[in-house]
Amino acid sequence: MIKVLDMNIPTLDDINVSGKKIIVRVDINSPVDKKTKKLLDYSRIQAHSVTIRELIDKKAGVVIISHQGRPGDDDFISLEEHAKVMSKYVGQEIEFVDDVIGPYSREKIRNLKPGEAIMLQNLRLISEETVEGPIEAQKDTFIVKTLAPLVDVYVNDAFATAHRSQPSLVGFPLVLPSAAGRVMEKEISALSKIFNEPDRPKVFVLGGGKVPDSLKIIENLVKKKVADKILTGGLLAEVLALAQGYQLSKENLKVIEDKGLLSQVQRAKELMPLIKDYVEIPIDFRTEEDGKVSDYPINDVHGVIKDIGERTIMKYSQEIQEAKVVVLRGPMGVIEDERFKQGSAKILKAALESKAFVIVGGGHMISVLGGMKTDPKKVHISTGGGALLLFLAGDKLPALVALSRTSTAVKV
């Protein structure tokens, strides 16, 4: 069991899967080439292959279910290629079944032998899977009522989709003995350190442009006394600076206005009495003006802010050196431009060189990692986007809530 946010989440170590038929929800939703409709990245498939391989080795009959894209989108395609790629990583054939809950898929599941695995067609071909609803109601959907009687156990390995309250994610644990798969277990084990780990100080580095989400995260971290320091960059830092009375410059005010963030400045002002002792904003910014790149102190900014300045990098790096847990989400600047990538890169490097347990979340910060060496024992790279955001904001993810309610007392 893993305890997180007052929930006990069972893992594969808590349930007998040997020789049983198991339905495994993975998240192998992958980037797709718009023209060829071929997959561009296999990383999620590779990650989930570990769980699938373990279940096959235990002579389970494995039914893999997942989604890909949304109806109407360019990446809404069949899972046939996913099955072929998964077969290569697992080391044996994963048969693709071009059906979800129809007679063909049901027959394939009934005939599944121990040590075999199949992958059903894209879940979102079923309209139920595109609609979110109360957890309790999802056990009565066609997907759950049709597939659950055909298997013995449900395994959820899809942390990246754990914030969705959809049938395949929350319905099965209410009717079947269930557990988290190895990808899910790895995620919640690492993230549980944010709320469960007694080691202090905990330092959060928040940046990027998702300001409303970040302000919600900051409010929660402070109210729950989780964070000791919150270091900010990106548009978030600009909004907080304006809330504290700094003028910045006309160019930056226009950027804030054009992005519809003036209301967030007011929101930050309202939060300031609560968060002021925890939140740090840059003491200088790296800006661009007429093609020239310069560092300016926060009280005398010229040009458009594109990154944190060198003095801020040094200050933040010192804060990180004292930390026991460091969580990084969102870049410090416009990392697409190499001239404004160093704030994010140097802060990330400081975290990796510290003695802290480091959690890196969000695609932008992961991309900054590049060729940096990481020790898997002290660095966790999260696969979750929306799920990670909600987790940091203190929300209980529906998929984890459902797993915490499962009946693992039934030893199948």
Q: Domain limits of the chain?
A: 2-188+396-404, 191-392
For the chain, give the number of residues: 412
Per-residue model confidence as pLDDT tens digits over 195-220: 777 778 999 999 988 899 899 889 98
Which CATH number is associated with domain 191-392? 3.40.50.1260
Task: Write the pLDDT tens digit of every residue in 137-188.
Answer: 999 999 999 999 999 999 999 998 999 999 999 999 999 999 999 999 998 8
Q: Could you read off the pLDDT of 297-307 as tens digits, one per residue?
A: 999 999 999 99
For 345-397, strand residue ranges (E) read: 357-361, 379-381
Domain boundaries 2-188+396-404, CATH class: alpha beta
The closest alpha carbon to 295, from 279, 281, 319, 313, belongs to 313
- Distance, in Å, from the CA atom of 236 to the CA atom of 239, rounded to the nearest integer, reads 5
The answer to whether domain 2-188+396-404 and domain 191-392 are alike in fold is yes
Confidence band, pLDDT 50/70/90 cuts, at residue 412: very low
